[in-house]
């Protein structure tokens, strides 16, 4: 599957996980900035929600933290409210993240 979009996304995720493990304890890893930039790039490139759910899983990013970053980005950039495609994309992403959380926490 080398060269496929999934392979490239997995490489990005693995690189970010390695960096976060290396720098997380020193508080020098800018998690919020990176997630925010990935949201902006994801909007423009239509990254699938699975990219973010895999990233959350691998980075052990809590739901409330990710949703805070998502809300902050939504509230800080008017494009999310004025561009129907961007609005639909961020809603789909939020829904997928919530569904993943519910699915992973069912008894």
Digit-by-digit pLDDT tens for the chain (107 residues) are: 445 556 788 888 888 888 888 887 777 778 899 999 999 999 988 899 999 999 999 988 999 999 999 999 999 999 999 999 999 999 999 999 999 999 888 65
Residue 102's Cβ-count burial label (10 Å; 0-12, 13-18, 19+) is exposed
pLDDT, position 17:
86
């Amino acid at each position: 599957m080398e060269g496929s979009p999934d392979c490239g996304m997995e490489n990005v995720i693995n690189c970010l996980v390695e960096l976060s493990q290396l720098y997380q304890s020193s508080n020098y890893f800018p998690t919020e900035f990176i997630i925010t930039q990935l949201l902006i790039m994801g909007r423009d490139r239509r990254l699938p929600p699975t990219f973010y759910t895999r990233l959350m899983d691998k980075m052990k990013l809590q739901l409330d933290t990710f949703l805070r970053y998502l809300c902050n980005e939504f509230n800080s950039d008017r494009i999310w409210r004025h561009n129907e495609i961007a609005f639909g994309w961020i809603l789909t992403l939020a829904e997928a993240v919530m569904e993943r959380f519910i699915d992973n926490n069912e008894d």
